[in-house]
Amino acid sequence: MNLKQLSELLGLSQTTVSRALNGYPEVNETTRERVLQAVKETGYRPNKAAQRLATGKAGSIGLVMPTAPGHQSDVHFGEFLAGLGEEAVRHDFHFVIMPADPDDEVAALRRLAISGNVDALFVAYMRGHDPRLAMLKSLSMPYVVHGRSFGSEPDYPYLDIDNEGAFYDATRLLLQLGHTRFALMNGPMHLDFAIRRKNGVISALAERGLTLEEGCMSHALMTDEQGLLAMEHFLQLPERPTAILCSSTVLALGAIRAVNQAGLRLGEDISLIAHDDVLPLLKPESFSVPLTTTRSSLRAAGVRIAQRLIGTVKQAGPFPDQELWKTELIVRASTGPVPQT
Amino acid sequence: MNLKQLSELLGLSQTTVSRALNGYPEVNETTRERVLQAVKETGYRPNKAAQRLATGKAGSIGLVMPTAPGHQSDVHFGEFLAGLGEEAVRHDFHFVIMPADPDDEVAALRRLAISGNVDALFVAYMRGHDPRLAMLKSLSMPYVVHGRSFGSEPDYPYLDIDNEGAFYDATRLLLQLGHTRFALMNGPMHLDFAIRRKNGVISALAERGLTLEEGCMSHALMTDEQGLLAMEHFLQLPERPTAILCSSTVLALGAIRAVNQAGLRLGEDISLIAHDDVLPLLKPESFSVPLTTTRSSLRAAGVRIAQRLIGTVKQAGPFPDQELWKTELIVRASTGPVPQT
DNA sequence: TACATAATTGAAAGCGCTTTGGATGCCACT
DNA sequence: AGTGGCATCCAAAGCGCTTTCAATTATGTA
């Protein structure tokens, strides 16, 4: 069933039916109701591809999903997507997801943009000096970046959390508790948030004249396995750190297993603060020793970005171009005063 | 840059350029190369919406993502998506994801199908007597179901794992170890896999004249929190079960925390077998007590379903309509002989 | 040389929708 | 009666592509 058939069935022109459906004023109310009634009976739905071709809009936001054989799927991605979806469903928007090899993200993003399949773009997994920014700017299509790109002029629309502030505050807390030997379990080095978190730690330490040794820093995929490995490494250092900063509760999961296996007590022998993306899977308060965390909901960020993106496409009011969310520092049991030795 | 402009630039007709791009034989090789060269220089990409309108195909597979405020995102969904993506990227396919309230899945699926935006559908989260099946059959669009629908005639294309067999085998193993008091931590009751797994357990127990009490069964979202709660409940039962079957390693995570908190030893005081979807986040071998599991890779299932879907759209050879994958039973340390009391 | 055949190319229709630029009829008002 | 304004409606163009059908040129054959 298409517009033509529907209009013939009603004895009207396609024009009128189209107008009736899209809420234009110049159509008689009785006619409009007849049309609506017929739609209900026939189950007619406009063809989105045709609509898009005619209008240039189709109610969709595009994103690139990094994937490859051997490429680990990322819980954070799924959680963020849930947030985007939660908002999108309210506006009858959908997503076009282009899977792409992580090495091919720039090209994939361009393909997606000029495919004419999407109205707006969402970009994540930002890196330092991210090459996608220049491309996006040249595109004349709305987009919002999740995160920022360290080293690039911040003149693009983004939503980010204050990663540096979060880890600065967390480090300060541990310093106040008397800790002096720190370690940082971070995400992959090239990612923007990892850079900023590291800076946060370093600058808090610097205020006390402390530094973060190279051996006390790990950059790795944020899986529990990597958490285990990194922590095992830290624990066998001659000057074993007593304070651990951790970029994800997923890493913390493995880290804590290593702590337990070493017969150490979390919150006493060793203190740990993790960043909590509020993954439903891993609640810091339900760890066996509840985790002290810096918290910011990834899902909430997804909702907000979807709002901005959809709002821009629908031309509904202006939106702030740049948002920086503060994180909360929530103290639980995994942090305690430095152990006396 | 569109076809018209490109063809004018080349001094050719749109027809010829289109043919050159789509690999038709009736175009001079020199011309083809000129066209390809121009494409490279101009960065021209065909508009997908127009292509879809003209051909009816656009290289996309559609799926519905259940989401709502308060609806927990599901790690399993993300992992599966990674599998789909891994295959899709090889064929330059993309996804159209329609977010929908979980109560609105049938309607959302229909909207997606007749939107003209997708070539094929993927359907998951199957329930017993799933109402989507009838709709799909009436649709004349290729689709593959992940899982099955208990109680419906299995005459639709699906890929499923042998849930019943997996839990039957797991239960048998525990029976052989001498266990007689069982409990099952399952996924939501209405979901097909939960029904079948329960049946597997029950039929293995029945062979020994045993039954599964109502109180020894939990149906809940597969989060670690629910795992904790369910296990706490089991542990305070007057006749405490010694053998636990668990529908997911995520549930197991919480369950094991409860076991530890109760001061019990996994694999000695209490045996546990979990189903392992091979989530990169949770490796059963790296639990503090490595987990005995029934294993089947969710991601591999995603890859395979994408193969079938894309293959069907591209009319590349026939594919089996129904596939039932066996699971592996992998014995690790979380199972042991029934404790002597 | 003449003609059939193959190799290339192009004009134009069509996919299903939106939207511009009229039509048409009706009423009020001078 | 004549004019303008308003409320409705429609024909047709256009979005960017594919594909049918036809035209043109090159090649081979008798």
Three-state SS sequence of A74-97:
CHHHHHHHHHHHHHHHHHCCEEEE
User: How many CB atoms neighbour CB A194 within 10 A?
Assistant: 22
Q: Which stretches of chain B are DSSP H helices?
A: 3-10, 14-21, 29-42, 48-55, 75-88, 105-114, 132-137, 163-176, 192-207, 224-235, 249-261, 298-313
- Identify the band that residue B1 occupies on the pLDDT scale cut at 50, 70 and 90: confident
How far is B283 from B281, CA to CA, in rounded Å? 6
The sheet with strand A292-295 has its strands ordered as: A217-219, A182-186, A243-246, A271-276, A292-295, A328-330
- Identify the band that residue A87 occupies on the pLDDT scale cut at 50, 70 and 90: very high
DSSP character for B286?
G
Quick check: B305 contacting A, CB < 8 Å?
Answer: no
CB A124 within 8 A of CB A146: yes
Helices (H) and strands (E) in chain B, counts: 12, 12
CB A187 within 8 A of CB A311: no
Q: What is the pLDDT of residues B253-273, one digit of tens each?
A: 999 999 999 999 999 999 999
* B14 Cβ within 7 A of any nucleic strand C atom: yes
CA-based torsion, A8, A10, A12, A14: positive or negative: negative
- Of B6, B93, B302, nearest in space to A97 by CA: B93
Structure tokens at A206: 């610097």
CB B64 within 8 A of CB B98: yes
Amino acid at B257: R
Q: Which of B3, B73, B115 to mutate to test the interface with A (most CBs of A within 10 A)?
A: B73
CA distances to A226, B12, B82, B323 from B307, rounded to whole Å, are: 31, 37, 13, 13
Which residues 260-299 on chain A approach chain B with CB closer than 8 angstroms? Answer: 260-261, 280-283, 286-288, 299
Higher pLDDT, A207 or A92: A207
Q: What is the pLDDT of residues A268-288, one digit of tens each?
A: 999 999 999 999 888 899 888
Left, alpha or beta for A182 (phi > 0: left; psi -120 to 50: alpha)? Answer: beta
- Identify the band that residue B70 occupies on the pLDDT scale cut at 50, 70 and 90: confident
Q: What is the pLDDT of residues A64-85, one digit of tens each?
A: 999 888 888 888 999 999 999 9
Q: How many residues are present in chain B?
A: 341
Average pLDDT, chain A: 94
CB A37 within 8 A of CB A28: no
How far is B253 from B289, CA to CA, in rounded Å? 11
Give me the residue from B69, B115, B288 closest to A261, CB to CB.
Answer: B288
pTM to 2 decimal places: 0.91
Question: Is the pLDDT assigned to residue B62 strictly greater than 90?
Answer: yes
Q: Cβ-count burial of A79 within 10 angstroms (0-12 exposed, 13-18 middle, 19+ buried)?
A: buried
Question: Looking at residue A172, what is its pLDDT?
Answer: 98
Question: Is the pLDDT assigned to residue A341 strictly greater than 80?
Answer: no
How far is A157 from A166, CA to CA, in rounded Å? 21
Q: Using an 8 Å CB-CB cutoff, list chain A residues near B111.
A: 45
Which residues 247-266 on chain A approach chain B with CB closer than 8 angstroms? Answer: 250, 254, 257, 260-261
The answer to whether B69 contacts A86, with C-beta atoms less than 8 Å apart, is yes
- Identify the band that residue B320 occupies on the pLDDT scale cut at 50, 70 and 90: confident
- Identify the band that residue A48 occupies on the pLDDT scale cut at 50, 70 and 90: very high
How far is B72 from B226, CA to CA, in rounded Å? 12
Q: What is the pLDDT of residues A301-336, one digit of tens each?
A: 999 999 999 999 998 878 889 999 999 999 999 999
How far is A209 from A211, CA to CA, in rounded Å? 7
Quick check: B76 contacting A, CB < 8 Å?
Answer: no
How far is B280 from B303, CA to CA, in rounded Å? 16
* Poorest-pLDDT segment among A232-236, A303-307, B118-122, B319-323: B319-323
- Of B181, B185, B191, nearest in space to B237 by CA: B181
CB B160 within 8 A of CB B148: yes
Amino acid at B142: P
Q: What is the mean pLDDT of residues A100-104?
A: 91
- Identify the band that residue B312 occupies on the pLDDT scale cut at 50, 70 and 90: very high
Quick check: A72 contacting B, CB < 8 Å?
Answer: yes
**Closest chain B residue to A52, measured at CA:** B49
Buried b or exposed e, range B205-229, using 16+ CB within 10 angstroms? beeeebebeeebbbbbbbbbbbbbb
Question: Looking at residue A2, what is its pLDDT?
Answer: 92
Q: Cβ-count burial of A264 within 10 angstroms (0-12 exposed, 13-18 middle, 19+ buried)?
A: middle
Question: Is the pLDDT assigned to residue B341 strictly greater than 80?
Answer: no
Backbone angles phi, psi at B220, to 5 degrees: -160, 165
The answer to whether A75 contacts B78, with C-beta atoms less than 8 Å apart, is yes
DSSP character for B92?
T
Question: Looking at residue A301, what is its pLDDT?
Answer: 97
Q: What is the pLDDT of residues A11-30, one digit of tens each?
A: 999 999 999 999 999 899 99
* Poorest-pLDDT segment among A131-145, A322-336, B69-83, B256-270: B69-83
Question: Is the pLDDT assigned to residue B340 strictly greater than 90?
Answer: no
- Of A143, A108, A106, A148, nearest in space to A127 by CA: A148
Q: What is the mean pLDDT of residues A151-174?
A: 97
Question: Is the pLDDT assigned to residue B164 strictly greater than 90?
Answer: yes
User: How many CB atoms neighbour CB B233 within 10 A?
Assistant: 15
Q: Which of B40, B48, B55, B282 to mutate to test the interface with A (most CBs of A within 10 A)?
A: B48
- Identify the band that residue A91 occupies on the pLDDT scale cut at 50, 70 and 90: very high
How far is A149 from B61, CA to CA, in rounded Å? 32
Q: What is the mean pLDDT of residues A175-203?
A: 97
- Identify the band that residue A182 occupies on the pLDDT scale cut at 50, 70 and 90: very high
Question: Looking at residue A170, what is its pLDDT?
Answer: 98
Rg (CA), chain B: 25
User: Reduced to 3 states, what is the DSSP secondary structure of residue B185?
Assistant: strand
- How distant is C1' of C8 from CA of B316, in Å? 30
The answer to whether A96 contacts B96, with C-beta atoms less than 8 Å apart, is yes
Q: What percent of chain A has pLDDT over 70?
A: 100
Question: Is the pLDDT assigned to residue A106 strictly greater than 80?
Answer: yes
Q: What is the pLDDT of residues B136-154, one digit of tens each?
A: 999 989 999 999 999 999 9
User: For tokens 């999407």, what's the residue?
Assistant: A118
